[in-house]
């Protein structure tokens, strides 16, 4: 066997090792998932390498590559797309072109990206907004917000909240022909986090008379206390959102200081004086039995008070909506929650479903047994169209 043959075999083996990831048997289109995850792994590795060399912050490198997936606001025969600002927050507004004799439904959408990445201009979010407009004959506002690492909590929350307050003004709804009784809010991942937090905050806001009819949360991130939930353990290395990357997103939301990230990775970041908050995220009582199977609940290991004093945001209900007490939850509107089996954030969404139901809120839970994080924005995937169809169908029936 020649040297070239051995070299080719070696390259092939190393390539196969790099590309291969173990996938559950029920994941649809496994080779497409592997290819997408290989791209994600490559970009993540490049971002890590650039940060180690001091060239660029990890998130800035990821954002650089993500910018290639953005497009300008482009109208077509069905939808007029414009960019404007609501309370100085940049938004994209999607308006149906066909005439309507009645007021339309309105949906306020918040993109994901771990509070660090993404925008309303990404092809995946632009496509979703257009599909929502076409199928619901609705007006969609897709918002942007300031991102980490340049901006930290509560900037992201405040941007979205200020844009929502503007949209819910009667004169603004009149301008866009939106029925004030048929306005909803939706978001995925970090956007689901912001949607849940904003909806909670609106409850106690006396200046906002118009409230949301529904909220739709798509694989939302909802708690910062326990990074060792069963879903974090089971899906720690799933490439679409690994445990280490999710913890990095969480920590960057509050600070660029890596000490919080390290403490969160070892689940030792909550001080003993905040231990009462664990009742709101105790998976042993909030998860259905099927999601607890094979796992044993361990009492949390408390961290020092120093991190909480420096970065109090990670214990703030505006950052972690699962920390809201029942008195606030019971006033929330009809809620739709999508969770995916192969997602570190699965249990966040499921625990919120349990707590909302316990508080008397009407909740529809759509659990995708073969789903994984960000599936709704994976272009061309069958699972993307399936989840999108279920999501828009629910909005059609309930908004």
Q: What is the largest CA-CA distance in the chain?
A: 79
Q: Decide if 275 is catalytic.
A: no
For CA atoms 130, 135, 139, 145, give the dihedral sign: negative
Which residue of the set 189, 231, 240, 242 is catalytic? 189
Which residue, among 358, 335, 11, 30, has the nearest Cα to 192 in the 3D structure? 335
Q: What is the DSSP letter of 302?
A: P
Active site residue 343: yes
Say how far apart CA 223 and CA 138 lie, in whole Å.
Answer: 31
Q: Is 195 within 8 Å of 217 (Cβ atoms)?
A: yes
Q: Is 111 a catalytic residue?
A: no
- Find the helix or strand (DSSP H, E) in which 342 lies: strand 334-342
Residue recorded with tokens 């005439």: 99
For 340, other C-beta atoms within 10 Å of its C-beta total: 29
* Burial (CB count <10 Å: 0-12, 13-18, 19+), residue 29: middle
Q: Which two tokens stand for residue 318?
A: 């505006």
Q: Annotated catalytic residue: which of 159, 343, 347, 348? A: 343
Question: Which residue do the tokens 């008195």 mark?
Answer: 327
DSSP 236: T
State how far the alpha carbon of 204 is from the alpha carbons of 209, 327, 342, in Å: 11, 11, 35
Catalytic residue positions? 189, 343, 373
């Amino acid at each position: 066997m020649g040297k070239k043959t051995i070299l080719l075999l070696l390259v092939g083996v190393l390539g196969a090792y790099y590309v291969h990831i173990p996938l559950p048997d029920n994941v649809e289109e496994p080779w497409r998932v592997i290819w997408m995850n290989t791209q994600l792994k490559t970009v993540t590795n490049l971002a890590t390498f650039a940060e180690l060399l001091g060239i660029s912050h990890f998130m800035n490198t990821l954002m650089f590559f993500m910018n290639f997936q953005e497009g300008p606001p482009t109208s077509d025969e069905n939808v007029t797309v414009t960019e404007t600002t609501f309370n100085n927050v940049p938004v994209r507004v999607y308006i149906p072109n066909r005439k309507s004799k009645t007021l339309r439904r309105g949906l306020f959408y918040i993109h994901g990206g771990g509070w660090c990445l993404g925008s309303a201009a990404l092809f995946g979010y632009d496509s979703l907004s257009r599909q929502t407009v076409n199928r619901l004959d609705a007006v969609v506002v897709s918002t942007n917000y300031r991102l980490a690492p340049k901006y930290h909590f509560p900037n992201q929350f405040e941007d979205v909240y200020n844009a929502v307050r503007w949209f819910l003004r009667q004169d603004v709804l009149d301008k866009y022909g939106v029925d004030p009784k048929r306005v909803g809010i939706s978001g995925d991942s970090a956007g689901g986090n912001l949607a849940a937090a904003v909806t909670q905050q609106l409850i106690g806001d006396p200046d906002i008379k118009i409230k949301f009819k529904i909220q739709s949360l798509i694989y939302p991130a909802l708690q910062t206390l326990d990074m060792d939930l069963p879903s974090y353990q089971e899906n720690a290395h799933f490439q679409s959102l690994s445990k280490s990357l999710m913890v990095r997103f969480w920590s960057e939301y509050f600070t660029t200081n890596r000490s919080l990230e390290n403490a969160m990775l070892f689940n030792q970041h909550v001080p003993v004086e905040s231990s009462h908050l664990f009742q709101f995220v105790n998976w042993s009582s909030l998860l259905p039995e099927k999601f607890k199977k094979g796992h044993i609940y361990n009492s949390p290991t408390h961290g020092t008070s120093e991190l909480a004093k420096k970065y109090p945001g990670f214990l703030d209900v505006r950052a972690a909506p699962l920390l809201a007490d029942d008195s606030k939850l019971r006033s929330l509107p009809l809620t739709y929650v999508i969770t995916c089996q192969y997602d570190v954030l699965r249990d966040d969404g499921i625990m919120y479903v349990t707590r909302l139901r316990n508080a008397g809120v009407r909740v529809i839970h759509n659990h995708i047994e073969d789903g994984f994080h960000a599936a709704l924005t994976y272009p061309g995937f069958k699972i993307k169209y399936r989840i999108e169809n279920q999501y828009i169908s629910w909005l059609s029936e309930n908004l």
